[in-house]
Amino acid sequence: MSLTQAELREIVYNFIVYGDFLVGVPFGGGNVNDTYQLAFDQGGVRLYYILQRINHNAFREPENVMENLDRVTAHLLNKIHAAHAETRRRTIRLLRTPAGKPYTYDRCGNCWRAYVFIANARAYDVLETPEQAFRIAQTIGEFQLNLIDLPGKRLHETIPYFHHTPKRLEALERSIKADRVGRVKDVAREIDFVMERKSECARLIKLAGEGSIPERICHNDTKANNILIDDLSGEGLCMIDLDTVMPGLSLYDFGDIVRSGTNPAEEDETDLSKVGMRFEMYEALYRGYVDMTSDFLTPAEYENLPFAGKLITLEIGIRFLTDYLDGDVYFKTRRSTQNLDRCRTQFKLVESIEEQMDKMTALL
């Protein structure tokens, strides 16, 4: 979906802004929401905001998403004030409407929110150095740490069963059965790959159900490009894409950064020889994450860090495969095989993690 300048202007003027709208351009590499960067002239100074449409196919109750986001960012701001001299770029800051709401609706019923744009920082699709990996994992750990004492009621589950791997597997099985667009015949190998690993899918859910792994507030979508790195200091700066911040397991966040941060290739790379887990990146992620979380991780969480990387990679691969079989209805795609390519990179990465599991475990 691409909007005209007039449409963007109309939407953003529902929020309190003191500048004149200049131009809006599509921004970032998200697979779900639509994101724009908007330039304003405010008293002769150029400044930027991010304007984003919540995909209500993925997030059925956008107002719950926004209630979570408002509470979480306010709490983070307090924490950051206490810990850092500079606060402005370390958390998302929401714009508000004159009625005080952090969201607005357009004429078609889409829900939009706007943020202060964070300058001089970048989100990396592929991490370049172990130093970056260390810093990013610290930022994820610090985020979890800061949210441990979020006051008030339990956060909304913005997507129910988001990381419930057995349910993701059931969804795949339903899609195989339905074969809506006739693609099942092309993915026999990928289906076998999943079925060979079926018994492992319930491991974390089971440990959580038994009470050995606690529920925590997590980000739940910690792929590398959802964390900003400061251009100047190289520090992990800010967690973005907060729609899935909700109750979950700490291991989901660690798993997803292992998935996205250790692979030197793009998520939809077609040359699978480029895909694999870089152990030096894993080690840096592990050290950075534990640096911030060792005070609160339980033994069962700690012991499952290596497995989490494998499970979440398998799970996201299952989701890409499911969406491919459903005819590409969830993730944004630019070519007809993109979800299948994404699935294949994930499964190649799972194999690579399996091959290195002993080394990963030895770090514990």
Binding window for ligand GN1 (CB under 6 A); candidates: 177-185, 218-226, 293-301, 321-329: 218-226
Nearer to Mg ion, 30 or 261 (CB): 30
Distance in Å, CB of 125 to Mg ion, minimum: 10
Question: If residue 163 lies in a helix (H) or strand (E), which one and from where to where?
Answer: none
CA distance 190 to 254: 25
Partner whose footprint covers residue 140, from Mg ion, ligand GN1, none (CB < 5 to 8 Å by kind):
none
CA distance 201 to 169: 8
Question: How remote is the C-alpha of 89 from its chain's centroid?
Answer: 19
Beta bridge mates, 216: 248
Partner whose footprint covers residue 244, from ligand GN1, Mg ion, none (CB < 5 to 8 Å by kind):
ligand GN1
Nearer to Mg ion, 30 or 236 (CB): 30
Residue whose pair of structure tokens reads 């950051």 in the numeric block: 80
In angstroms, the first-to-last Cα distance of the chain is 46
Query: C-alpha dihedral over 207, 311, 187, 268, to 10 degrees?
Result: 150
* Residue 362, burial from CB neighbour count under 10 angstroms (0-12, 13-18, 19+): exposed
Q: Which amino acid is at 322?
A: T
Q: Which residue is nearest to ligand GN1 (CB)?
A: 31
Is there binding between residue 267 and Mg ion (CB under 5 A)?
no
- Are the C-beta atoms of residues 244 and 168 closer than 8 Å to each other? no
Instruction: Identify the residue among 34, 190, 221, 323 touching ligand GN1 (CB under 6 A).
Output: 221
Instruction: Identify the residue among 73, 226, 346, 352 touching ligand GN1 (CB under 6 A).
Output: 226
Q: At what angle do helices 305-326 and 165-178 cross, to 10 degrees?
A: 20
Is there binding between residue 222 and ligand GN1 (CB under 6 A)?
no
Q: What share of the chain is helix, strand, coil (3-state, %, to 5)?
A: 45, 15, 40
Site for ligand GN1 in 21-40 (CB under 6 A): 30-32
Is there binding between residue 267 and ligand GN1 (CB under 6 A)?
yes
Instruction: Identify the residue among 22, 58, 202, 357 touching ligand GN1 (CB under 6 A).
Output: 58
Report CA torsion sign: 67, 49, 37, 77.
negative
Q: Which amino acid is at 17?
A: V
Partner whose footprint covers residue 224, from ligand GN1, Mg ion, none (CB < 5 to 8 Å by kind):
none
CA distance 364 to 357: 11
Is there binding between residue 241 and ligand GN1 (CB under 6 A)?
yes
Is there binding between residue 127 and ligand GN1 (CB under 6 A)?
no
Question: If residue 113 lies in a helix (H) or strand (E), which one and from where to where?
Answer: strand 111-116
- Are the C-beta atoms of residues 275 and 349 closer than 8 Å to each other? yes
Distance in Å, CB of 180 to ligand GN1, minimum: 20
Nearer to ligand GN1, 252 or 286 (CB): 252
**Per-residue x/- marks for Mg ion, 90-119, CB under 5 A?**
------------------------------
Distance in Å, CB of 223 to ligand GN1, minimum: 6
Distance in Å, CB of 58 to ligand GN1, minimum: 5
Is there binding between residue 352 and ligand GN1 (CB under 6 A)?
no
Instruction: Identify the residue among 226, 260, 262, 345 touching Mg ion (CB under 5 A).
Output: 226
Nearer to ligand GN1, 14 or 345 (CB): 345
Is there binding between residue 34 and Mg ion (CB under 5 A)?
no
- Give the other-Cβ count within 10 Å of 158's Cβ: 24
Nearest to 15 by CA among 134, 120, 117, 97: 97
Q: Which residues of the shown chain bind Mg ion in the complex (CB under 5 A)?
A: 30, 226, 241
Q: Which residues of the shown chain bind ligand GN1 in the complex (CB under 6 A)?
A: 30-32, 58, 221, 223, 226, 241, 244, 267, 316
